[in-house]
Structure 1
Amino acid sequence: MAGRGYSIFDTAIGRCGIAWGELGVAGVQLPELREIETRKRLFQHYPDAREMRPPEEVEVAIEGIATTLRGGDGDLAAITLDMAGIPAFNQRVYETVRSIPRGETRTYDEVAGALRASGAVYSVAQALGRNPFMIIVPCHRVLEAGQYPDRISPNGGSVSKRRLLSIEGAQPTTSKTLFDVLLPVARPRPQA
């Protein structure tokens, strides 16, 4: 891969964007309400990127993302991410979240525990709020304990966590949290 580029591509939920550089995929932008807004957001994050035909490695990422957003099992595990400039803690969070299986969710607390940083729930939430690798790093699979918020990172565009989880066939919380044990009736259920 030479230089930094970006491309806009079709998915089942709208036109997404992807940016890349010599080290791998630099970011993914889920669709905004209008394509021009998706392009604008990409330009804000990657002002030096130029629209061009994606190299083969990025084509593989695009196909995996499109397959995932159609409800299929897109293989995103082998996609190389350009993490230059991303803090080491955030990189660890992204690597951990990439291991959450499709159709399952975790809480911020569980991710912090997996990192052996149990007091870092806020830091995990902050890292996921800055996730530039939407879908490849499936931050939509991480929820607040006992809650099913629709907040997603700025790269999520107009798409909600609820919608992404619904596409994957996930329940609000597959893992058992203290909230699940104490108040199982109060837990929100997704609409079919």
Structure 2
Amino acid sequence: MAGRGYSIFDTAIGRCGIAWGELGVVGVQLPELREIETRKRLFQHYPDAREMRPPEEIAVAIEGIAATLRGGDGDLAGVTLDMAGIPAFNERVYETVRSIPRGETRTYDEVAGGLRASGAVYSVAQSLGRNPFMIIVPCHRVLEAGNYPDRISPSGGSISKRRLLSIEGAQPTTSKTLLPVARPRPQA
């Protein structure tokens, strides 16, 4: 791969975009209401990227994203992300969130606990709000405890968390903790 490129591609929820560089995917843009807005958003984030045919490894990522967005089990585990410029804490958050299985959710608190940073709920939320790797890093699977916001990061386009979770067959109550939870002892 030489330089940065981007491509617009069809999915079951609309035309998405993906941008890449020599080290892997640099960003994914979910569809805006119109394709021109999706392109505009990609250009805002990656002004040095040029539209081109995706190389093989990016085509595999596109196939995985498209499969995921039609309710299939798109394999995105092997997609290489270009983390240049991403803070180390955010990298750890993204790694943890990538391990959340399709159809399950976690809370921000559970993700923070999984990082052994239990006081970092706000930082986890901020990190996911800046997630440039939509679907590959499935931030839609992370919810606020006791609340079900429909917000998604700026790369989320016009698509809501609720819609993405529905496509995956997840319910907001299917949270599984990342760490073992102490069970109450039966009364003697």
TM-score interval, smaller chain: over 0.9
Aligned length: 188
Q: Tell me, what secondary structure is at the counterpart of 1:110?
A: helix
Q: Tell me, what secondary structure is at the counterpart of 2:181?
A: helix
The CA distance in 2 between the partners of 1:189 and 1:66, in whole Å, is: 46
Query: Is 1:6–1:19's contact at 8 Å kept on the other side of the alignment?
Result: yes
The CA distance in 1 between the partners of 2:128 and 2:185, in whole Å, is: 23
Taking a change above 3 Å as real, the CA distance of residues 184 and 27 of structure 1, as seen in their structure-2 partners, is closer
Taking a change above 3 Å as real, the CA distance of residues 176 and 94 of structure 1, as seen in their structure-2 partners, is closer
Taking a change above 3 Å as real, the CA distance of residues 5 and 139 of structure 1, as seen in their structure-2 partners, is same
Structural mapping, 1:107-118, within 5 Å: 107-118=107-118
Structure 1 position 41, deviation (Å): 0.3
Task: Output the TM-score relative to the length of structure 1.
Answer: 0.91
Q: Which deviations, in whole Å up to 9, do the C-alpha atoms of 1:118-169 show, x marking residues without a partner?
A: 0000000000000000000000000000111100000000000000000000
Taking a change above 3 Å as real, the CA distance of residues 44 and 75 of structure 1, as seen in their structure-2 partners, is same
Taking a change above 3 Å as real, the CA distance of residues 117 and 69 of structure 1, as seen in their structure-2 partners, is same
Task: Output the TM-score relative to the length of structure 2.
Answer: 0.93
Taking a change above 3 Å as real, the CA distance of residues 41 and 184 of structure 1, as seen in their structure-2 partners, is same
Structure 1 position 173, deviation (Å): 2.3
Taking a change above 3 Å as real, the CA distance of residues 103 and 35 of structure 1, as seen in their structure-2 partners, is same
Taking a change above 3 Å as real, the CA distance of residues 32 and 96 of structure 1, as seen in their structure-2 partners, is same
Q: Tell me, what secondary structure is at the counterpart of 1:185?
A: coil
| Match status 1:34 vs 2:34 | yes
Query: Is 2:114–2:179's contact at 8 Å kept on the other side of the alignment?
Result: no
Query: Is 2:26–2:82's contact at 8 Å kept on the other side of the alignment?
Result: yes
What's 2:73 paired with? 73
Query: Is 1:172–1:190's contact at 8 Å kept on the other side of the alignment?
Result: no
The CA distance in 2 between the partners of 1:56 and 1:8, in whole Å, is: 15
The CA distance in 2 between the partners of 1:191 and 1:16, in whole Å, is: 54
Q: Tell me, what secondary structure is at the counterpart of 2:17?
A: strand
What's 2:6 paired with? 6
Query: Is 2:4–2:22's contact at 8 Å kept on the other side of the alignment?
Result: yes
Structure 1 position 184, deviation (Å): 21
The CA distance in 1 between the partners of 2:130 and 2:24, in whole Å, is: 18
Structure 1 position 176, deviation (Å): 6.3
Q: Which deviations, in whole Å up to 9, do the C-alpha atoms of 1:1-57 show, x marking residues without a partner?
A: 111000000000000000000000000000000000000000000000000000000
**Which among 181, 188, 191 is matched to residue 187 of structure 2?**
191
The CA distance in 2 between the partners of 1:188 and 1:75, in whole Å, is: 37
Q: CA RMSD in A?
A: 6.2
